[in-house]
Amino acid sequence: MIVRLQAFARETMKPWKWAALACGAVLWSAPSPQQAPEPKIMKQGFGKTPDGVPVELYTLTNRKGVRVSITNYGGIITSLLVPDRNGRSRDIVLGFDTLEGYLKGHPYFGAIIGRYGNRIGQARFTLDGVEYKLAKNDGDNHLHGGLKGFDKVVWKAREYTDGDGLHVALDYRSRDGEEGYPGNLDVNVVYTLNDNNQLRIEYTATTDKPTVVNLTNHSYFNLAGEGDILGHVLQIQADYFTPVDQGLIPTGELRPVKGTPFDFTTPTAIGARIDADDPQIRFGRGYDHNFVLRGAAGTLREAAEVYEPSSGRVLRVLTTEPGLQFYSGNFLDGTLRGKGGQVYAHRSGFCLETQHFPDSPNKPQFPSTVLRPGQTYRSTTVFEFSAR
H/E element, 55: strand 54-61
Q: Which helix (H) or strand (E) holds 29?
A: none
The answer to whether residue 308 is catalytic is: no
Q: Report how far residue 273's alpha carbon sits from residue 279's, in angstroms, rounded to the nearest whole number.
A: 13
The residue ranges of DSSP E strands in 85-243, in sequence order, are 89-91, 112-113, 119-120, 124-127, 130-133, 142-143, 156-162, 165-174, 185-193, 198-207, 211-212, 216-217, 233-236, 238-242
- Residue 50 burial by Cβ neighbours in a 10 Å radius (0-12, 13-18, 19+): exposed
Q: Which of 215, 387, 249 is nearest to 306 (CA)?
A: 387
- Our answer to whether residue 142 is catalytic in this structure is no
Task: Please state, in angstroms and rounded to a whole number, the distance separating the CA atoms of residues 264 and 84.
Answer: 24
In 10 A of CB 4, how many CB atoms? 8
d(CA 191, CA 59): 11
Q: Which three-class secondary structure state does DSSP give residue 269?
A: strand
- Name the active-site residue from 106, 142, 144, 218: 218
* CB-based burial, 136-146: b 16+ in 10 Å, e otherwise: bbbeebbbbbb
Contact 23, 17 (CB under 8 A): no
Residues with Cβ within 8 Å of 88's Cβ and at least 6 positions away in sequence, in order, are none
Residue count of the chain: 388
Q: Which of 56, 179, 321, 353 is catalytic?
A: 353
CB-based contact 150:105 (threshold 8 Å):
no
Distance (Å, rounded) from C-alpha 371 to C-alpha 101? 34
Residues 6+ apart with CB under 8 A from 18: 9, 10
Q: Which residues are catalytic?
A: 218, 353
